[in-house]
Amino acid sequence: MTTPRLGLAALTVLDTAPIPQIDLAERHGFDTIGIRLLPAAPGTTAYPVHQDRRALADLRRRLDDSSVTLFDIEIIRLAADFDVNAFEPMLAAGAELGAKAVLVGGDDPDRARLTDSYARLAQACAAHGLVASLEFMPWTAVPDARAAIDIVSHADGPARSVLIDALHVDRSATTLDDLAAIPRDWLHYAQLCDGRMPRPTDDAELIRQAREERLPAREGGIDLAGIWATLPADLPVSIELPNEPRRRAVGTDAWLEHLVSTARDTVDSVGAEQLSAH
């Protein structure tokens, strides 16, 4: 049975700088990390090593010495004033560090302009050997998988990519059939977490839970087995699971051990069911 690579997403330990994050990943059995180079919202935490050659070189040396690799960098938001050239230093740094993917959010309410911006970003990412993983989120201009598929389908080249986050699948109009309809070569990784029920009904609470109060696998009500059964068995998994009250209560090491254990159990059980079905 194929065991997918497991990643420690930036948001899970966002107070931890990239080099100490590698230490955590090594200690708890993660294969990869993701780092946040640009903030998700103004004033929030990020580590812009692409703006500091010394910091970038230090991080590259640390990765070179580790079995842990960098998988994704984040986050590029496609707003109305998107200028692909402004992100060139970030893409170049990601390539230098060995990243595979760039996490992309869509904010521009003009769908045609957003689609054009994504196509230009995908072209720039391809030039650096990266994929532009467009993440659908219900409060954004890319609210569900169908919207993401439509936008990505208008781009050309090898960088086309849709990022599946289990929380956003559950909180959006996305169906399992929608996930199954995503071309396999557009899938490069998926983010794993669980979530509280009942589902929030307003954007403010959707955002708060997504950024602050996700749950370990099988501790909420998301159909993780159904979601993962639609995905390739070897698709890399990123644990994106911010929950500071829980992390502080038990300590970071115990928390990450729990997240790895529950994620592995969930993904492996789906893989075993798929294997037995054949």
Burial of 197 (0-12, 13-18, 19+ CB in 10 A): exposed
d(CA 276, CA 278) in angstroms, rounded, equals 5
Whether the per-residue pLDDT at 276 is higher than 70: the answer is: no
**Phi, psi angle pair for 136, to nearest 5°:** -85, 140
Nearest to 266 by CA among 242, 237, 245: 237
Q: What percent of the chain has pLDDT over 70?
A: 96
- In the predicted model, is pLDDT for residue 273 greater than 60? no
Q: Which long-range contacts (CB under 8 A, 24 or more apart) does 22-28 make?
A: 22/62, 22/63, 22/66, 22/68, 24/252, 24/253, 24/256, 25/68, 26/66, 26/67, 26/68, 27/253, 27/256, 28/253, 28/256, 28/257, 28/260
pLDDT digits (tens, 9 = 90+) for 157-173: 999 999 999 999 999 99
Name which of 39, 38, 99, 41 is nearest 71 in CA terms: 99
pLDDT band for position 156 (50/70/90)? very high
Residues in the chain: 278
What CATH number matches the domain at 6-277, 2.60.120.10, 3.60.15.10, 3.20.20.140, 3.20.20.150? Answer: 3.20.20.150
pLDDT digits (tens, 9 = 90+) for 88-114: 999 999 999 999 999 999 999 999 999
Q: Inform me whether the pLDDT recorded for 260 exceeds 80.
A: yes
Note whether 179 and 145 are within 8 A (CB). Answer: yes
The residue among 122, 192, 129, 195 whose CA lies nearest residue 161 is 122
- Domain positions in the chain are 6-277
In 3D space, the residue among 99, 189, 191, 118 whose CA is nearest the CA of residue 157 turns out to be 118
pLDDT in tens, 170-189: 999 999 999 999 999 999 99
